[in-house]
Amino acid sequence: MNKAFEDFLAWTCANEWGSEETQKKTLNNGVTLSIWDSGVLEVSPPKPGKKDIVLSCAVHGNETAPIEICRDIINDIITEKQTVIHRTLFLIANPASINKGERFVEENMNRLFSGAHSNGKAHNKERERAAKIEQYVKRFYETSPEGERERLHYDLHTAIRDSKREKFAVYPFTHGKPYNKHQLQFLLACGVDTVLLNQAPTTTFSYFSVNEFNAHAFTVELGKVRPFGENDRSKFAAAEQTLRRLISEDSLDFGSFEPNKHFIFKEAQTINRMNEDFELNFADDVANFTSFDKGDLLARDGDENLYAQHDGEHIIFPNAKVALGQRALLTVVRVPTESLELE
Ligand SMILES: O=C(O)CCC(=O)N[C@@H](CCC(=O)O)C(=O)O
Ligand SMILES: [Zn+2]
């Protein structure tokens, strides 16, 4: 068997910044596999269902649980153990950062979408790769069969810190469009009962798919960063199983929507690091979703003190070492699920 189809992840990592060798193969079950680049695999069933699904991992190379999940699903597709009835695009976004075992090589790829890769004078391989990935997503969504389609994108990550809520998703800014009940139920079936609602555009991959392709797209955080082989896969079994069902079943029925099963948080503050002397006012081992009260000092940025603005303001993704101008801390407050406009 061809190397790329023998072990797609290994071949991808051996061609870490891309490969111009496009490859195609039709399996005995009629499913066609097309490799557009390293890490970019389109799976096309002979009579595709109505969903166009993007599953991405390794936007950050050290977030290995999602890479293991995608690797195993891809291998099972190639060996025909996993059926696929909807067009699916797998993206292993930043293989060079996997090889390095780090979040990124030169620049955080998840700040480079929606054209941010071309802002300013900087040039690097992550920028080039982000630009190519945008084009692959565009090509995938825009070459779908005629008729009403549902576009989906789950961008799988893990968090740097421990979290009081182990699995959670970021719902990118919808520009006022209602939130989707079925998507909240899908996330819940993945074991993700906690969802953070962004209140403004970002340059993340999931927002790109929401904003440019009207997809239901999410950043999904599946636990904590660990090296390959050290993930407790039983903790992500529901996510893996539900993703497998998504690509192989016509539609998923989760029964009636139960608001009390979903824990929804709304963005309160996004604190960007603007100065070299930036520090968080809590220890490195303080977990995501730790709650602060109004007036508590959260961070110092140069001469400015930044405080919690609400009681019950929870900290997410604290990272004092981000590049200047980037998000060093997100804070969120709980909102009742019933308060959301849902479709
Ligand atoms: O744990 C952390 O600090 C970061 C984990 C991670 O990579 N999260 C994503 C979230 C993207 C989003 O806000 O939709 C990121 O920071 O890129
Ligand atoms: Zn990540």
Alpha helices, DSSP H only, in 190-316? Answer: 205-213, 237-248
What does pTM read for this prediction?
A: 0.98
Other C-beta atoms lying within 10 Å of the C-beta of residue 277: 9
Compute, in angstroms, the gap from residue 207 CA to the centroid of ligand 2.
14
Is a pLDDT exceeding 70 seen at residue 108?
A: yes
Average pLDDT on 155-168 reads: 98
Instruction: Decide: 86 and 48 in contact? Cβ < 8 Å.
Output: yes
| Average pLDDT for 130-145 | 98
Q: Which ligand is nearest to the CA of 60?
A: 2
Distances (CA, A) of 160 to 15, 129, 275, 333: 26, 23, 22, 21
Residue nearest to atom 5 of ligand 1 (CA): 159
- Residue of the CA atom closest to atom 17 of ligand 1: 110
108 occurs within a structural domain: yes
The pLDDT of residue 2 is 80
For ligand 1, the distance from its centroid to the CA atom of residue 47, given in whole angstroms, is 36
The interface predicted TM-score (ipTM) is 0.98
Distance CA 259, CA 249 (A): 25
Quote the pLDDT of residue 46.
97
Domain co-membership, 142 together with 27: yes
Looking at the structure, tell me whether residues 203 and 329 fall in a common domain: no
Any known ligand binding at 182?
A: no
CB 158 within 8 A of CB 222: yes
Is residue 12 located within the same domain as residue 114?
yes
pLDDT, tens only, 288-322: 999 999 999 999 999 999 999 999 999 999 999 99
Q: Is 116 helix (H, G, I), strand (E, B) or coil?
A: helix
Q: What are phi and psi of 270, to 5 degrees?
A: -115, 115
| Residue 339 DSSP label | G
Distance from C-alpha of 82 to C-alpha of 75, rounded to nearest angstrom: 9
Task: Report if residue 330 sits inside a domain.
Answer: yes
* DSSP conformational letter for 252: -
Residue 96 predicted with pLDDT over 90: yes
Integer Cα distance of 221 and 86 in angstroms: 24
Q: Number of structural domains, the chain?
A: 2
DSSP 338: G
Q: How far apart are CA 20 and CA 148, in angstroms?
A: 33
Claim to verify: residue 23 and residue 138 sit in the same structural domain: yes
What are the catalytic residues? 221
Which of these three, 257, 283, 317, is where a domain ends?
Answer: 257
CATH of the domain at 329: 2.40.50.630
Ligand nearest to the CA of residue 168, numbered in listed order: 1
* Same domain assignment for residues 105 and 232: yes
| Across 74-90, average pLDDT | 98
* Mean pLDDT of the 219-233 span: 97
CB-CB contact of 23 with 35 (8 Å): yes
Q: Give the three-class secondary structure for 284.
A: coil
Pocket of ligand 1 (CB under 6 A): 60, 110, 157, 159-161, 170, 204, 206, 219, 317, 319
- Single-letter amino acid, residue 149: R
Q: Is residue 77 pLDDT above 70, yes or no?
A: yes
Domain holding 173, by residue range, is 3-257
Q: N- to C-terminal Cα distance for the chain?
A: 46
- State residue 1's pLDDT score: 57
Is residue 137 a part of any domain in this protein?
yes
Q: Is the pLDDT of residue 22 over 90?
A: no
204 and 331 within one domain: no
Known binding residue 60? Answer is: yes
Domain-located, residue 321: yes
Q: Let me know if residue 109 belongs to a domain.
A: yes
Q: What is the CATH classification number for the domain harbouring 195?
A: 3.40.630.10
- Ligand 1 midpoint to CA 73 (Å): 23
Q: Are residues 215 and 81 in the same domain?
A: yes
**What count of other Cβ atoms lies within 10 Å of the Cβ of residue 107?**
18
Any binding-site annotation on 107?
no
Give me ligand 2 centre to Cα 102, in Å: 11
